Structure 1
C-alpha cells in the first residue's frame, strides 16, 4: 500500500506558476486549491513517502514556503 505525505502552502496569485513548478520539481503533486481563511488561495499537495526520500523534506519544504509567503 502506498503511504503519502501531505503539505499545504499559500499560492500567491502573481507567482503561482513558479510556486507550482517548484513543488512539482520536488515530487509534490497538486491535489486541490481552496480559498484561504484570510483570502488568497491555498494549495494542497501530496507525494509518496519512502523510496529513500528524506523524512524531513516535507517539513523543510513547508517551512520554506511559509518564509517565502511572509516575505511577499
Structure 2
C-alpha cells in the first residue's frame, strides 16, 4: 500500500525583485534554473517589480 503523499508533487517558491530595465534577463536566469513565473506585482518603488516563482522539488 502506498503512503498518502506518494506521487504527490511538491513545490518550492521564491520571491525575486525585478528591475524594470533588466526584467527579461533576470527571469531568463531564473528560468534556466527550472523556476516558473507565477505572478509579477508592483514593488516598493516605481522602478521595481516583484516576481513570484515556483519549481518542483526533486
> Is the pair's TM-score, using the shorter chain for normalization, greater than 0.5?
yes
| TM-score (norm: length of structure 2) | 0.80
Choose between structure 1 and 2: higher strand proportion: 2
Choose 1 or 2 for highest CA Rg. 2
What's the offset of the Cα at 1:13? 0.7
Q: Deviations over 1:40-59 (max 9, x none)?
A: 21000000001xxxxxxxxx
Q: State the TM-score, normalized to the length of structure 1.
A: 0.65
What is aligned with 1:33?
Answer: 40
Q: Quote the RMSD (CA, aligned, Å).
A: 0.7
Instruction: Write the distance in 1 (CA, Å) between the matches of 2:15 and 2:42.
Output: 12
Structure 2 gaps, min length 5: 1-7
Distance 1:10 1:34 in 2: 10
Q: Find the aligned partners of 2:49 and 2:29 in 1 and give their Cα distance.
A: 17
